């Protein structure tokens, strides 16, 4: 049987890297620092995956331009000052290696900045595993389909033979908008109940479960 996919596109935060709690804490701590209303964990985690400007507007609505600029700067400071404990989810490095060995194209579509993603790719050593990446510095924010459409065009892969993997509704909606397949993971920013109904072929409880589902489709 011919394999189902030629390109697997991964979200970063909450899908490959266990950074959800760190991002939520950074948003909340930035608000506390500026004496702004602090969003609860659900509200702060819901915006993960979006472009930073858009995410902070949604998590902390009603701010004027000066307050929003100060919040953005405070978030970046908190995010960069205490991310030593952020790590890849178990099995990610080995799983990506197994997919690369099978000759699949691998890519990243993330709400991170280009500088931020490049730093993370270097620190984790995952950079050489990916054939292409897109960030919000080059494309519209999720759920706009631009990231996926640019990646499939660059790598010469049909959208019907592309799988988007993510932990948020933004990821799954982007896949729908681009006409690709989607797989959800239930261990990231959005509750698995929120991921239901977006056409995901699987909502995996951990990365090992995702790999066990995917490998028979690409062998």
Residues noted as catalytic: 11, 13
Give the helix/strand (H/E) hosting 183.
Answer: strand 181-185
The DSSP 8-state label assigned to residue 84 in this structure reads T
Task: Say how far residue 119 (Cα) sits from the centre of its chain.
Answer: 15
Q: What Cα–Cα distance (Å) separates residue 29 from each residue in 44, 87, 145?
A: 11, 20, 32
On whether the CB atoms of residues 168 and 191 are closer than 8 A, the answer is no
Inter-CA distances, 201 with 45, 123, 217, Å: 23, 31, 12
For residues 73 and 156, what is the distance between their CA atoms, to the nearest angstrom?
A: 38
Q: Residue 40, SS3?
A: coil
DSSP H or E stretch at residue 198 = none
**β-pairing, 203-204 with 132-134?**
unpaired
């Amino acid at each position: 049987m011919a394999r189902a996919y030629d390109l697997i596109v991964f979200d970063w935060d909450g899908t490959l890297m266990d950074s959800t709690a760190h991002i939520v804490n950074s948003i909340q701590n930035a608000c506390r620092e500026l004496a702004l209303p602090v969003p609860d964990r659900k509200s702060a985690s819901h915006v993960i995956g979006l472009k930073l400007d858009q995410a902070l507007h949604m998590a902390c609505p009603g701010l004027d331009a000066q307050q929003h600029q100060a919040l953005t700067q405070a978030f970046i400071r908190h995010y960069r000052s205490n991310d030593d404990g952020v790590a890849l989810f178990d099995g990610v490095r080995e799983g990506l290696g197994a997919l690369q060995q099978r000759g699949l194209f691998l890519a990243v579509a993330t709400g991170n900045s280009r500088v931020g993603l490049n730093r993370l790719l270097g620190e984790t050593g995952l950079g050489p595993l990916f054939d292409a990446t897109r960030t919000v510095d080059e494309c519209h924010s999720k759920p706009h389909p631009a990231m996926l459409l640019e990646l499939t065009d660059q790598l010469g892969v049909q959208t019907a033979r592309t799988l988007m993997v993510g932990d948020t509704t933004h990821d799954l909606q982007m896949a729908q908008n681009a006409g690709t397949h989607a797989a959800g993971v239930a261990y990231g920013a959005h509750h698995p109940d929120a991921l239901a109904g977006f056409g995901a072929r699987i909502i995996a409880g951990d990365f090992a479960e995702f790999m066990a589902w995917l490998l028979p489709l690409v062998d």
